[in-house]
Structure 1
Amino acid sequence: MTSSSTPDPADDVSLSWGFTDTASAPASSGGDTTTNQSPEVLLGEVVGGIHDTLPPAWSFYLTEIAIAADEHRTRAAVETPDGRLLPLTVGPGVLRAAAAHRELTAGESPWMWLRITEHRGGEPQIAAFDGFVGAPPQHLLFPPASYRADVSMSTAATTPLWLLAHVHDAGRQLRSASTAAAASPAECVYPTDELPPLPILWPRFAALSAIFAAVDAVDGPRMTSAVGIFRGELGGCTLTRLPCGRAVLSGGADHSTLLTAAYQGQLEHPDLYRGAPAWVSNIVLDERAAAGMLTFCYWWSDGRWSRADLVGPPEWTPVTELASAVPGVWTSVTTAELVRATLGRVGIEVSTDAAWNYVAQVDAGNIRPDLLATLPHPPAAPAEGLAVLDLTQPW
């Protein structure tokens, strides 16, 4: 019963109360009879225990339970028919059953948090999220020390990268301006086939961002006059444009073999900033650096991309880090195909030629390309896309 995606904490922004947090969750082993029951029966006890605490009149409830070693955190609330939201108690019996279910179904990858929702008159919906769908929402995330027992119980091959970084990183990927200024000079490499040149990469990123803005999409790349941000299902990046023709592209793949091997002690931790100039510092880096999840960093100056010289595990290449973390800007064809697919998701069909012509216009600096200006409205919002293109023109 494992979900394929992480729940969006924004869905629960109104439920800022109803938390519990303790380091002494009820144990699931010992003389507790729950350990002799099936996973289905234990989940039934979880739901039944929640029902025992519901008020007589209710229309919907949400309960989240996170467990790490002997600790737990919960978040729970119930909605009444008149629209009120009330905090909901998660009792010891529910926690015992949840802990027993986790222990019984752990295998090599124990679930890290449960999310249970139910509309009155319907069936309870239960999702058990393991660490491979990403870190728990911030309100369910434990300090690093709380997960060390879980990491030690898991085989190294099945420990998710975010958890390895959370436990072992300790800020090693941060690069303050002072540290950057004091860094020793070092050789770097100048790849010519890993990324498009910045004068092409930037407008393609803008072309995609404008389309996602025009169709009012909740995901996809976003862009301002100086920064492009992409958060994908398996990675993400930040493209920062700086004065005097400079730029930094940094980000990471959620399942990077390079960084996983480094955290597992199989190779030296990569120094992504070796040879980087002083202006490559925290202020321009992707947010993943703060979490120890940065797996690539490129800087553009003097008309070329540069990066540190890295050594990875067998069959690893730097391009594998980029594939899941950078949107489809590799060629005009890949960019145009992503434009077509994005429009198709909202029922707007455009030809291959029209999509390619749109990308070509943006590449040429045209901020009012025909494709974007003539998108149907609703559901599209062409003005939003044109605003993106306006912001991202060359300085």
Structure 2
Amino acid sequence: MEATRAIALVSDWIRSRGLDYPTEGLEADRFEAGWSVYAPVEVDESDPMAFLEMPVGRSVFLVGDSGRIEEVSSSVPPLQAQAAFAATELGVQGSNGDTSAADFMAEFERQFHEAAGEDAPVASFTVVDAPPEGPNLAEGPDDDAAIAEEASRLIEPIVQQLAQLGPDGWEEFDAEFAFTVSSQIAQLQFSSQDRTGLVPVPQSVAALVSRQREVAAQMPAGPWWRLILNVTKQGETTVNYDYGDEPFPEDQLVAPEHYRDDLEAYPRSRIPVWLAGYVAGPAAQSRAPRQAAEAAEAASAAVVTADLPPLPELRARWAVLSAIYAGVESGWGPRVFPGHLWYESDRRSGSTLFVLPGERAVLSGGKWDSELLEAAYNGGRPLPDLYTGAPAWVNDSALNTRIRNGLLSFCYWWADGQWHRGATDTSGELDAALPAVRTPDDTVSAMVALTGPGTEAQCAALLAAAVEHSATTAAVAAIFTNVPGADVAAAVNQLSLAGVLAG
């Protein structure tokens, strides 16, 4: 791959994601596994203080010979970032027999250019013009089958042209297209035995995909957000339309304005809640300190609630569960960090508990399939009233990060020895988004599930001690009798961070 090609790929990558980064004047430096592409910083060398104005942590884009792009920070030592990138590239490209990965990719490049001719390739790009208007195939409900058949027929020329881009001997390829009316991302990967390689997608193919999406948009489900193809050398083609039931891969998620453009062009009766929140952005639920202070002056009454156990018990239960997950070295489960407790379930629900000075705390988070958010984003109802009566210290600095994407479905604050909430009843959101902390029995059962049978008494004793802030290292070690090699120190550290150790 030449430097100009690497720069072109990065420019398209930046534009497709709406990044605040220049696309003109980029430079590329070669390293072992590809190119380092960046915007040079001009510094007045005659000014001894000019270094103070140099940006820190500026993005650098590493482009592999496979076509893979990774954004890294300039604050990471270049050799370290490039070494990590090169190691990943080896895994992506692989090697086999007497043909090197570099030779394999060179063959990709050669055959791609032969197939594409003068047609400029694109890995990802932004379309600034509105899509061309095609014939309206939908005359009524009886035409749904005809539209689906036409959409299916338009897949064939896409597959045929993609197949021509592969090297001799390819066995399978996967193509993923993430399109809106104003942005396009295309990714194509060929496989041959244990080798894989990414190939740029020509604009001629992207035009075919756009046309197919315009036709698919007339089906009852509307236009797909992602088109996913898997094709084998034997001609077997698997087609999947992704309508956003699950969040898109990070490298196929574009800026919110592109989804807004698409929703304006193709109104939908329902939008996936996660995508609706992403489009709404921080403005939907953010509570900046100034905004919180102004709202607090209104002196609206909060709702005092018994939805949750008292803060000392809640914190102790959360802490002992975190200790056990850390002790068995699980990548799942809750954790304690300085100043806050954290939990994310394996079903995309989660919460944070920020513990503040003066016996105050803020518990907030979101349930993945929240009925409250569904009603707001797709049912015409207002978003849940989470903040009425909240004091000024209930603000963005102590709220779960779901506020950034409009997915916060509950917020409670502890003050004066009681839990409070806003006007909306959010008790139904809690079970999915909290670890097993609602009752002592729930917590002990969850502990024993990890420590094994016969440890019920030890788990209950540790929980009781944690509530009284008198847990000890010996009590922690006692719960791991069935877990050889448990990391007792890591477990104790979780209790220490939560402030429930003796002394």
TM-score, L = length of structure 1: 0.75
- Where does residue 444 of structure 2 map in the other structure? 336
**Contact preservation (8 Å) 2:279, 2:405:** no
Residue type matched to 1:66 in 2?
Answer: A
> Could you list the runs of 5+ residues in structure 2 that have no partner in the other structure?
1-62, 71-121, 138-145
Aligned pair in 2 of structure 1 residues 260, 37: CA closer, same or farther (>3 Å)?
Answer: closer
What is the Cα deviation at residue 90 of structure 1? 5.9
- Where does residue 353 of structure 1 map in the other structure? 456
Matched, 1:321 2:429: yes
Tell me, in whole angstroms, the C-alpha distance in 2 between the residues paired with 1:65 and 1:28. 20
Residue type matched to 2:321 in 1?
Answer: L
Matched, 1:306 2:420: yes
- Where does residue 386 of structure 1 map in the other structure? 492
Matched, 1:274 2:388: yes
Tell me, in whole angstroms, the C-alpha distance in 1 between the residues paired with 2:211 and 2:484. 50
Q: How many positions carry a matched residue from both structures?
A: 367
> Could you list the runs of 5+ residues in structure 1 that have no partner in the other structure?
1-12, 311-316
The equivalences for 1:163-312 within 5 A come to: 163-169=275-281, 171-183=283-295, 184=297, 185-192=299-306, 194-232=307-345, 233-264=347-378, 266-310=380-424
What is the Cα deviation at residue 16 of structure 1? 2.4
Tell me, in whole angstroms, the C-alpha distance in 1 between the residues paired with 2:206 and 2:351. 40
SS in 1 for 2:305: coil
Residue type matched to 1:390 in 2?
Answer: S
**Identity fraction in percent:** 29
More displaced stretch, 326-335 vs 364-373 = 364-373
**Contact preservation (8 Å) 1:69, 1:147:** no
More displaced stretch, 362-371 vs 36-45 = 36-45
Q: Deviations over 1:76-117 (max 9, x none)?
A: 556888978655436643663586378279643754224567
Tell me, in whole angstroms, the C-alpha distance in 2 between the residues paired with 1:268 and 1:172. 11
Q: Deviations over 1:118-152 (max 9, x none)?
A: 9999x988765432323552642342353454475
Q: CA RMSD in A?
A: 4.1
- Where does residue 96 of structure 1 map in the other structure? 208
Aligned pair in 2 of structure 1 residues 19, 175: CA closer, same or farther (>3 Å)?
Answer: farther
Residue type matched to 1:385 in 2?
Answer: A
SS in 2 for 1:306: strand
SS in 2 for 1:207: helix
Among candidates 101, 108, 113, match of residue 226 of structure 2:
113
Aligned pair in 2 of structure 1 residues 279, 104: CA closer, same or farther (>3 Å)?
Answer: closer
Tell me, in whole angstroms, the C-alpha distance in 2 between the residues paired with 1:394 and 1:231. 22
What is the Cα deviation at residue 270 of structure 1? 3.6
**Contact preservation (8 Å) 2:468, 2:500:** no
SS in 2 for 1:65: strand
What is the Cα deviation at residue 385 of structure 1? 2.8
Q: Deviations over 1:144-200 (max 9, x none)?
A: 353454475322xx32222322334561311111222222221001101x1111101
**Contact preservation (8 Å) 2:367, 2:432:** yes
Tell me, in whole angstroms, the C-alpha distance in 1 between the residues paired with 2:448 and 2:202. 47
SS in 1 for 2:304: coil
Tell me, in whole angstroms, the C-alpha distance in 2 between the residues paired with 1:44 and 1:215. 51
Matched, 1:376 2:500: no
What is the Cα deviation at residue 228 of structure 1? 1.5
Larger Cα Rg: Structure 1 or Structure 2?
A: 2
SS in 2 for 1:195: coil
SS in 1 for 2:185: strand
What is the Cα deviation at residue 371 of structure 1? 4.9
- Where does residue 69 of structure 2 map in the other structure? 16
Q: Deviations over 1:311-345 (max 9, x none)?
A: xxxxxx4211222222221112222333344x3xx
Q: Deviations over 1:344-369 (max 9, x none)?
A: xxxx7434725545544544442532
Tell me, in whole angstroms, the C-alpha distance in 1 between the residues paired with 2:218 and 2:453. 47
**Contact preservation (8 Å) 2:455, 2:479:** no
- Where does residue 5 of structure 1 map in the other structure? none
Aligned pair in 2 of structure 1 residues 307, 374: CA closer, same or farther (>3 Å)?
Answer: same
SS in 1 for 2:324: helix
Tell me, in whole angstroms, the C-alpha distance in 2 between the residues paired with 1:217 and 1:382. 13
Residue type matched to 1:191 in 2?
Answer: T
**Contact preservation (8 Å) 1:176, 1:282:** yes
Tell me, in whole angstroms, the C-alpha distance in 2 between the residues paired with 1:370 and 1:247. 30
SS in 1 for 2:275: helix
Aligned pair in 2 of structure 1 residues 27, 337: CA closer, same or farther (>3 Å)?
Answer: farther
